[in-house]
Structures are given as C-alpha cells and as structure tokens.
Chain A
Amino acid sequence: MKHFALFDVLYLGQNLETRIKDFSLNEIQILSYLGCLMSIYDGNNSSDWGYFFSKNNSGYPYSIELSNAMELLSNKKMIVQSSKNNEYFNTGATGIDFIDKLSNQLSIYSNRKQYLDVALNCITLAPFGVIRTALLNEPVLTSAKRKSSILLLEESDFATNLLYAQFQELRTALNNEFESLLIPAFTWLSGNLNHQIG
C-alpha cells in the first residue's frame, strides 16, 4: 500500500463529500488521474506521482494502489459505506481525524494537495460525467484503448509525447499567465471535449 494512494483516497473522498455528499472508487480514480496530469502539466515527471495508472476494461484510468487503499480504509472503518448503495462511501470519524493530521501536520503532501484541489475544483465547474468524457479524449487514454499493454503515461510512449506537446502548446497559448492551474486545466478539458464533439 502506497501512502500517497491512501492520502489521495482520504483527501479526495473528504472533499468530494463536502461537494456531492459521498464518493466512489471510480470518482477517486478519475480525479487522482486528473491530479497526476496536472502535476505533469506543472513540470513534474509521471513517476513523481508515487504510483502508476493503468487502463481498466472500460478504458478508464485505474490504479490498483487506490483500490487497495480503499479496501484497507474500509476495513479500518476510516471510510464507511453510504446509505445510498455499496459503491458509495463517506469518511468515518477516524478517517476525518487521520486526514486532518496528514494534511495539516505533514509537509510531504503539500505539493500534491494543489493538484488534487485543481481536480476537485473542476467538478464544481462541470458535472463529473463531463470531466470523465473529456479525459477519455486525451491522447494517452485514446491510444491505450487500442493497445493490449495497459500501463499509462510511460515516458517514452509516443502518446505521452503527444500529451506533453499538448501541454506545451497550452502553456504557450496561455502565456504562462495564470498562477492557478485551474484555468489551464479547464481549458484543456474543454478542448478535449470539443475535439470529441467536432
């Protein structure tokens, strides 16, 4: 179990809860992948994220580390199933206490929080389904759909190069003017969506 994955589940989970009442593993997977892409946009390597993503059977990004973290947190009652159905969770009291400590008393997570926050803010600007569809049109996931290999964001893959090129173009177009990553993020997601509609 990677501690970054466990942090991401609790941090995203708790923040999703304040926005949309509860959260699911699928939502966590999509938002942490978006967070990872934001970290790459900001100049970090994909391996700096702390765990890897692959594609699942439906072509969406998936990390076994996040899935393991969810299971562990559920066993420890740090997250509990919501009344809605089995797939949805709420953060338990021990979970709230733990993420509060990790988030506020340790420095190791301060960088990734800004990327996860961007991902979370995106779903206040557009419905989750729209964000997910937009992500499916990004070059790495588009290319992964057609491959048998499942690892995403490998450094030498041409699709990762295409993604880097897209991010470079976006940085140039926005002239590096925005301090917050939210505007580049949302512009990029909208671009992917328009690409699909067009």
Chain B
Amino acid sequence: MFSFPKLTSISINNFSLYEKEGNIELDFINGVFCLAGANGLGKSTFLNLINYGLTGIVIDPSKDFTSIVSTSKFYSLNKKFAHKYFDGRVNEIDREASNIRLTFSIGDVNYEIQRSLFESEELTSYSRKIDDIDTLTNDLTNSELFSSYCQHITNDIGLASFDQFVFLQHFVLSFDENHYLLFWNNELMETSLYLFFGVDPNEAKKANELRKDIKRFGSNIRNYVYHKNKLIKDVDNLKSNIASESDLKLPHGIQEEFEELDLKNIELDKDIVLSKNKLSQTNHKISEKSYELSQKKAEYQSTFDNLFSENNNNSFLSDPRVITSLLDLKKEICDDKKTDENFKIFYTLIKDGFCKKEVNKDMGFDELKVFDKAITELEEKIKVEQTTKFRIETEIKISNNELINNSSRIFELEKEYGDILNKLSELAKSDYSGVLKVYENQIREKSAEIEEIREEKANLEKEFKKIERVLNKGYNKAEEDFIPLFNKYAHNFLGLEVDLKLRNTSKGSTLVLIVEDTERSDFFQLSESQRYFIDIALRMALIEHSCNNATLLVDTPEGSLDIAYESRAGKMFGDFVDLGFNLIMTVNINTSQLLVELANKCKSSKMQLERMTEWTHLSEVQYQEEEKIINAYKRIEEILINR
C-alpha cells in the first residue's frame, strides 16, 4: 500500500497574482477544500502551486509524456518550466521573496517544506518529524535539503524513485487544467498500471525504462532504414552517371565476369519479379478458395439444418396453390355450389405437400456428404496453395541472397580494379570511386547497425514480457477488489453498467473501459464530461485500492457537465471523501448542482469553501455582477452550516 501526502496547510508568499490578499495562509480540513472563484482569477495556478511545492515542477505542455515515456526523463525535461511559468505571475519586485510553504503528513511522519518559486531544485527550509522529533541533521545547504526531501518522501510513500512520485502526483493524484486522461493515453495508463498492480516499484521503473528504450529503438530502426535506402539510391545514380560518361573497358576476363554478374543480376531481378507475380497469384487463389470454402461450410450448415427442419405454417399460408384452392372453395360456398371436388383437391394438396413426414434422412445425408467432400477437397487445395506460397517465398529469398552475393562480388571487383574507376572518374572530372567506396561502406555499416538495433530491441521486448506477466498476475489477483471499487464510482456517475478489461498489446498494456458491454477505447465514444468523470473515477478507485491516504487535486471539473450529471458528480466526490481521503478542488462559483450536492453530503465538518474573489481584483464584468457572485457563495455556505 502507498501512503501519499495528506496536505494540512499551505502558505503562498509574495505571489503577485493574488495581490489583494497579500500572503495566502490556509489550513486544510479533513475532507474537501473547495476554492471557488470566477474565470481568470488563478484557480488552476493554485493547484499548480501545490504540485510545484510538492515536486518542484510545473508541467510544460510542450513536453508531452506520450513521446517521453520514461518517468525519469519526464521529470528532468520538466524541471526548467516552473521558472517560465511563474515569470508571468510574479512581479520583479516580489521575485526574490516569493515562496511557497506546505505542511503535510505521510502516515505518522509530518513534513514542512518551503521553497522559492524560482529555485526548483532547492528547499529554503525543511523539517521531517516523527512524534515531534526532527529526523534531520543540521547544516545542510538548500540543495542538500532538497535531495534529502526527495529521498525521504520516496521512501515514506513506498516508491522506488522521486520521479515516480512526480509522475503519480501530476497524472494520477491531479486532474489539472491539461485534462490528461489515463483511459485514452496508453503511455500514462501503462506507467500507472505497473505502479498500482502488484509490480515492485523497482520493477515498475525497469518496465517504464524498457518501454522507453523499445520505443526509441523502433524509431531508430525506421530512421536507419530510411538513410540506408537513400544511400543505395545515391549509389545507383552515381554508377549510372559513371557508365554514361565513359566508354573505357576493364582488363580481359574481368569485363566478362562483370558482364556475367550483371546479366545474372538482371535475370535474378526478372526471376524475383516473376516469383512475386506468382506469389500474388497464389495469394489470390488462397483467398478465392477460402471464400469458396466459407460458402461450402455455410451450405453444409444449411443442409444440416434442413435435416432437422419442422414444417412451418408460414410457408403453408403463403403458398400460392393453397391461396388459389381456398379462393375456389370460398367462391363455391358463397355461390351455393357443390364443394366436393374442390375440397378433395384441397385435401390432397395439404396431405401431400404440407403434412409432417419423416424426413428422408438418407437423402439429406447424401447431400451432406457432397458438401463434406467439397470442403475436404477445398481444404486440401488451400493446403497445396499454401505449400506453393511457402516454396515461392523461399525461392525469392534464395534469389535475393544470390543477388546480394553477386553484388558483393561486383563490389570486390570494383575494389580490385579501382584504378580503372579512377580513370573513369578522371574522365568524368570527379572522384567517383572514392565517393562510391564511402557510400558502399556507409551502406554496409548501416545494415550492420540496423541488425544490431533489431537484436537489441528483440532482447528488450523479451525482458519486458517477463515484467508484463508479473503485471498480468498482479492484476488478476487485484481484479476481484478493484473492479467493484471502480464500478461504485463510475456506475454512480454514469448510471450505466461498466466493466474493465486489461489488454496486452505491442504498444503496451492498458485498461479498456466497457460501458453496457461495448468497448469505449476511442475518445469520441463518450462525451467530454463523461470522459473526465470516468477518468476521475478510475483515479479514485486506484487510490482507494492501493493507498492508505492521499489528497486528490481536481481543477474545475464541472465545466462541461450537463445538469443531469451535476448532482451525481457531487455524490461521487462525497463518497470518496467519506472514506477519509482528501480532495482539493477549484470550481467556478455558479448555480451548479455539483457544489450543492457536495455541500449537502459533507456539511461544514468535512467541507471548507474559500472565496477566491477576495484574493485578487475582479474584471470589470465580474465587478458589475459581484452581487450575484456573493449570493452564490452565501447559498453554498448556508447549506454547509444548516443541519
């Protein structure tokens, strides 16, 4: 089980954006802390400040985790951004003195940290107490204090490295203004799964690094192949230039060998083209026969069904002979004529055509035999074509190898008779042979490098598979507890049956969301607000499943929510807080039912509302409507105090 920070207080000093309030000093109660404000007052900044305080970073939106993959690289690439982020929010005059102080607990360990907004890898003060006894040694520099903090918090949470904490704090324990969603981002989901489902944090780190390397090797292979192909094309162009610019001949015998090899290569090229045509014909035949086979199988099934078919009244009532006969009878009855003859005809028609008879099983079975024979023959033919396919593929491979061997002999001859090439190049007033040699060497080197990288990639994938199996086993064990937890939150919000499925693919493992028996792996299969709240539900379930305590940060979740879901969302948050977890959220103060439901459920003992409009100056429009804003605050505050 992990224990994440439970925040108890925050102090934001000399932060110019919140100019009206001066320094912000807040104590967080157990439950929900709700910072309610209006557009543009700095709500998202408040959550970014908390995350900066805890981790020393603010996420740079241009450093996307999807392309970075590794938690350690993500951390190091994002270290510098906080500086830029706070530049526009702190005046020059406040710059030196601006800082943030946080107090929080992890289990029975109490932390107090303070850091400047412009020195992300230092702490200006740090204390870590257990039973009021300080565990730190004195006389540490600010950067030593920070290293010491990184080490302690990593151990106290139960992780293997500080960058893992940075990842989880930003992507699982926060739902920030960037709206990163685990369900629709494989890299985020996979990294989280390895940390939450029974994989040792050190192994999770290894899996994360392996995934990064596998991705990097894949992209390297693509680059190298592109360069190699370009080099081959350049060599071809160069050679054709040499040939066209000279009519010099090579010494006796060599010329013939060259020509012979050249001819052979032309033949081989032709053979390869022919074989490729044959291969495509064979593939065509295989698909044709496979289609025929599926038809025969369907006919077999239908004949089989006929063996057991019942007479049915629909076919009787819609038979034209029956209708004509009945109309004849009706006419005779209505005209008061004798019906004996027509009745006899009708009787015979029914008796012979529609009465239940013992099915002639032998006849049906003989038909089955025909289809069975056809199926067996087709399967045999497909097998033969597949053998042909394999043979042609082998032939192509052999011809390709011969082509490579001939080319390398040509290369050797060129090497041996390089002086001729020099002459040719003199004639062409260019040093073609030297250039050619450089090119050929580069191609050889590239080929070797590609093979080397492929091998390394295959080895990494093998190693990765081992850890993936640990994840599968861990998830298998945890599934029984975890799915109901997720269901509790998600079902309460959506009102629909939801399920989860762990899926292993070459791109990574991910949890697939199933709503009412239909997979929703594409983001457009749910509305924006449904996606947001389902993802928050997943985070809550992960926290409840694997953490003793934690504080979840949520940035203005009600934005795109329609009225039907507002109170359900409020209830979902309330259920989470009821379990003893803390929630720090920012909202726009409006008529949303989300706040009303949450306030009703939590009351003042478990919910604290902070009026953010008192922190900074309002815009002209907001100022004109200030009364409405104040009334909205009052409404929630009344609900909180009323029993």
* Contacts from A to B (Cβ < 8 Å): 1-3, 6, 72, 76, 98, 101, 105-108, 139, 142-143, 145-149, 156-159, 161-162, 165
User: Which of B361, B372, B479, B509 contacts A143, CB < 8 Å?
Assistant: B479
**B300: interface (CB < 8 Å):** yes
CA gap between A198 and B156 in the complex, in Å: 34
**B131: interface (CB < 8 Å):** no
**Given A106-B369, A157-B501, A1:B305 Cβ within 8 A:** yes
User: Which of B369, B375, B497 contacts A105, CB < 8 Å?
Assistant: B369
What residues on A are CB-neighbors of B483 within 8 Å?
A: 146-147
User: Which of B301, B472, B514 contacts A3, CB < 8 Å?
Assistant: B301
**B368: interface (CB < 8 Å):** yes
**Given A108-B375, A161-B504, A3:B369 Cβ within 8 A:** no
- Contacting pair A148 B499 (CB below 8 A): yes
Chain B 301-339 against A: per-residue CB contact (8 Å), 1 yes, 0 no? 100110010000000000000000000000000000000
What residues on B are CB-neighbors of A72 within 8 Å?
A: 308
- Contacting pair A148 B304 (CB below 8 A): no
- Contacting pair A2 B301 (CB below 8 A): yes
User: Which of B472, B479, B514 contacts A149, CB < 8 Å?
Assistant: B514
**B480: interface (CB < 8 Å):** yes
- Contacting pair B472 A146 (CB below 8 A): no
| Chain B residue at minimum C-beta to C-beta distance from A159 | B476
**B475: interface (CB < 8 Å):** yes
**B416: interface (CB < 8 Å):** no
Q: Shortest Cβ distance from A90 into chain B, in angstroms?
A: 20
| Chain A residue at minimum C-beta to C-beta distance from B302 | A3
Q: Shortest Cβ distance from A8 into chain B, in angstroms?
A: 13
- Contacting pair B499 A6 (CB below 8 A): no
- Contacting pair B365 A101 (CB below 8 A): yes
Work out how many contacts link A and B, with CB atoms closer than 8 A: 62
**Given A146-B480, A146-B483, A149-B514, A157:B503 Cβ within 8 A:** yes
**Given A107-B376, A143-B479, A147-B483, A98:B308 Cβ within 8 A:** no
Question: Interface residues of B, CB < 8 Å — how many?
Answer: 31
Q: Shortest Cβ distance from B181 into chain A, in angstroms?
A: 21
- Contacting pair B304 A107 (CB below 8 A): no
- Contacting pair A149 B499 (CB below 8 A): yes
What residues on A are CB-neighbors of B620 within 8 Å?
A: none
What residues on A are CB-neighbors of B305 within 8 Å?
A: 1, 3
Q: Shortest Cβ distance from A146 into chain B, in angstroms?
A: 5
- Contacting pair A139 B476 (CB below 8 A): yes
Query: Apart from A107-B372, A148-B497, what are 9 other A-B pairs with CB-CB below 8 Å?
Result: A1-B308, A2-B301, A76-B308, A107-B376, A108-B300, A146-B480, A148-B499, A158-B472, A158-B501
Provide a sorted-by-A list of 25 A–B residue pairs whose CB atoms are within 8 angstroms.
A2-B301, A3-B301, A3-B305, A72-B308, A98-B361, A105-B365, A107-B375, A139-B476, A143-B476, A145-B480, A147-B483, A149-B514, A156-B503, A156-B505, A157-B501, A157-B503, A158-B475, A158-B476, A158-B501, A158-B504, A158-B509, A159-B476, A161-B472, A162-B473, A162-B476
What residues on B are CB-neighbors of A162 within 8 Å?
A: 472-473, 476
**B502: interface (CB < 8 Å):** yes
- Contacting pair A3 B365 (CB below 8 A): no
| Chain A residue at minimum C-beta to C-beta distance from B376 | A107
Q: Shortest Cβ distance from B155 into chain A, in angstroms?
A: 32
**B469: interface (CB < 8 Å):** yes
CA gap between A36 and B369 in the complex, in Å: 25
**B108: interface (CB < 8 Å):** no
**B517: interface (CB < 8 Å):** yes
CA gap between A106 and B509 in the complex, in Å: 44
What residues on B are CB-neighbors of A139 within 8 Å?
A: 476
What residues on B are CB-neighbors of A149 within 8 Å?
A: 499, 501, 514, 517
CA gap between A142 and B483 in the complex, in Å: 14
CA gap between A76 and B364 in the complex, in Å: 16
CA gap between A64 and B501 in the complex, in Å: 24
- Contacting pair B502 A158 (CB below 8 A): yes
| Chain A residue at minimum C-beta to C-beta distance from B372 | A106
What residues on A are CB-neighbors of B517 within 8 Å?
A: 149
| Chain A residue at minimum C-beta to C-beta distance from B484 | A146
Q: Shortest Cβ distance from B34 into chain A, in angstroms?
A: 34
CA gap between A114 and B517 in the complex, in Å: 35
Q: Shortest Cβ distance from A198 into chain B, in angstroms?
A: 15
Q: Shortest Cβ distance from B401 into chain A, in angstroms?
A: 30
Q: Shortest Cβ distance from A152 into chain B, in angstroms?
A: 13
In B446-469, the 8 Å CB interface with A consists of 469
CA gap between A146 and B504 in the complex, in Å: 19
What residues on B are CB-neighbors of A101 within 8 Å?
A: 365
- Contacting pair B475 A106 (CB below 8 A): no
Residue among B472, B497, B509 having the largest count of chain A Cβ atoms under 10 Å: B472
CA gap between A147 and B472 in the complex, in Å: 16
What residues on B are CB-neighbors of A108 within 8 Å?
A: 300, 372, 375-376
User: Which of A3, A142, A147 contacts B300, CB < 8 Å?
Assistant: A3
CA gap between A162 and B300 in the complex, in Å: 35
Residue among A157, A158, A159 having the largest count of chain B Cβ atoms under 10 Å: A158
CA gap between A142 and B501 in the complex, in Å: 14
By Cβ-Cβ distance, the 3 closest A-B pairs, closest first, are: A3-B304, A158-B502, A106-B372
What residues on A are CB-neighbors of B479 within 8 Å?
A: 143, 146-147
CA gap between A195 and B473 in the complex, in Å: 14
What residues on B are CB-neighbors of A161 within 8 Å?
A: 472, 504
CA gap between A159 and B502 in the complex, in Å: 8
CA gap between A2 and B473 in the complex, in Å: 36
Q: Shortest Cβ distance from A162 into chain B, in angstroms?
A: 6
Chain B 334-362 against A: per-residue CB contact (8 Å), 1 yes, 0 no? 00000000000000000000000000010
